[in-house]
Amino acid sequence: MKWFQDWTLATAMDQLYAKQVYDDMKPYINTLLPHTSSYGRAKLALLSLGVAFYVFIIGLSLLGLYIRSKPSPKSSRLPPTEAPPVSILRPLKGVDLNLYQNLESTFKQRYPIFELIFSIAEAQDPARQVVEQLMTKYPNVDARLIIGEKIVGSNPKINNLIRSYETAKYDIVWICDSNVFVDVDTLGRSVDALTSPGVGVVHHLPLAVLPSSYGAEVEQVFLDTNHAKMYIAINYVAVSSCVMGKSNLYRRSDLDKAGGLAAFANFMAEDNLVADAIWKQGLSHVMTCDTACQSIGYMSPREYLMRRSRWLRVRKYIVTAATLVEPFQECVLTGIYGAASFHALWPNINPWRFLTTHFILWFCIDYTLFHTFLASQSMQHPNKTMPFHKFLRAWITREVCALPIWCYAMAGTRIRWRGSYYRLRMDGSGVPYVERPLKKWVKGSGKKLVEYIGSPILNGNSSTNTS
């Protein structure tokens, strides 16, 4: 029976050792999970979620550092009889900064067969002269200009595009905004991606270049850091549709299954809805290594605030869940809940040191991303970089203003889009309205107080724009 005595002694020693370890760990365990409190378990779960979400957001940010080299497109080397033909649609409204260079970048595409269709709403649009100059310069390019819009809804961009879409020769269409500059091989690489099995949409990373004011610098820092890294990360994990309509390729035959382009004419975020409709057909989205470079030029701080709030208001009806959690992926709130969660689970972690480290790390990631993206884009310009002090100023402004802009956007339903006004509905559609003065008298003062109210345009007519 000696073996039984030895086993009993060993078991007793193990129990004593386990009790000693438990006694040593008991104070720490009690801070994490009070065994008699459901509140403690819920608190631990919430803090653990905060830590996990913080690590997840930092991981998503780091994904943006992965920039692939630009491969030589295969489709561009095919003869015209074998390469899939493409219709390039470029809606125009006025003369954007660098409009000539932007439009010329599509004339220069190294691809065997494509057509270019430009569209303007009015014959007097100054963009017409730019298009005609380029058509004269490149007579061998199949290009034409459509004058006059077709009202199919409240979205002015679709009203401008619809005739181009309906008269395009080819099934593959590339819708590219007028303020976008693209690389000469963008079309070739995009067709390579679109002709891969199961692909329904090809899109390109929007980047901002050439700011000429403080507000424009803030816009550039936003688009080339926070927006770019999250855009890349969300499309990398590919859990849902996430497409910005600056530069997109898809097949008309796929979109026509969802009602065609006109089916989205009353929605302000038609780009996302079009991509989502194709996504729901079981077709994936691919983002190539190409960029859609948009020259910003001058933008006042107020214009930046209104632009950001405008698209937040549109997105809150289209992608509600993503918009609601958006503040929690911003630098300030991410740092606050990260510091609080880590400190609560590991009290030795100083929350202030954590926050300082967090802000420095976030800034370094953004600064690295900013220059990585600018180096990867093909638009050559001597002043495309930004001095460090201007980047720091714009970055701080962007991060500090992010939450107030989000709160302001959530509280309203009206937007202004290049001089036209819209009231958003719950389904994401927009109703045009005009600002009409309503005069009131201030009682006892003898002076007039003029207030402006929105009056819907019942017939749906409004001035048009494309970006």
What are the sequence ranges of the domains in the chain?
Answer: 75-323, 327-412, 415-456
Does the annotation count 254 as an active-site position?
Answer: no
Quote the CA–CA distance of 401 and 320 in Å, as a whole number.
21
The 3-state DSSP class for residue 54 equals helix
DSSP 8-state symbol, 400: H
User: Which pLDDT score, from 0 to 100, does residue 346 have?
Assistant: 85
In order of 8, 173, 258, 325, 459, the CA distances from 72 in angstroms are 73, 21, 33, 39, 50
Q: What value does the mean pLDDT take over residues 287-295?
A: 90
Percent of the chain with pLDDT over 90: 46
Quote the CA–CA distance of 211 and 386 in Å, as a whole number.
9
Instruction: Please give the sequence-ordered ranges of beta strands (E in DSSP) within 298-417, or none if there are none.
Output: 414-417
| pLDDT reading at 3 higher than 60 | no
Q: Of 183, 198, 210, 205, give the one whose Cα is nearest residue 66.
A: 205
In the structure encoding, which two tokens stand for residue 79, read together? 């003869």
- Residues contacting 436, CB < 8 A, separation 6+: 452, 453, 454, 455
Q: Which of 33-42, 43-52, 83-92, 151-160 has the lowest mean pLDDT?
A: 33-42
Highest mean pLDDT out of 28-32, 165-169, 229-233:
165-169
Which of 271, 276, 290, 366 is flagged as catalytic? 271
The 3-state DSSP class for residue 328 equals helix
The 3-state DSSP class for residue 155 equals coil
- Amino acid letter for position 404: P
pLDDT in tens, 97-151: 899 999 999 999 999 999 999 999 999 999 999 999 999 999 999 999 999 999 9
Quote the CA–CA distance of 202 and 317 in Å, as a whole number.
24
Report the b/e string of 158-179 with b at 16+ CB within 10 A: bbbbbbbbeebebebbbbbbbb
Quote the CA–CA distance of 265 and 129 in Å, as a whole number.
28
Strands 114-120 and 86-91 turn out to be parallel
Q: Of 138, 84, 141, 92, give the one whose Cα is nearest residue 116.
A: 141
pLDDT in tens, 220-247: 999 999 888 888 877 877 777 778 878 9
Strands 448-456 and 430-441 turn out to be antiparallel
Pick the CATH number of 75-323 from 3.30.365.10, 3.30.470.20, 3.90.550.10, 3.30.230.30: 3.90.550.10
Q: In what order do the strands lie in the sheet with 430-441?
A: 414-417, 420-424, 430-441, 448-456
Strands 172-176 and 142-147 turn out to be unpaired
User: Which pLDDT score, from 0 to 100, does residue 381 have?
Assistant: 56
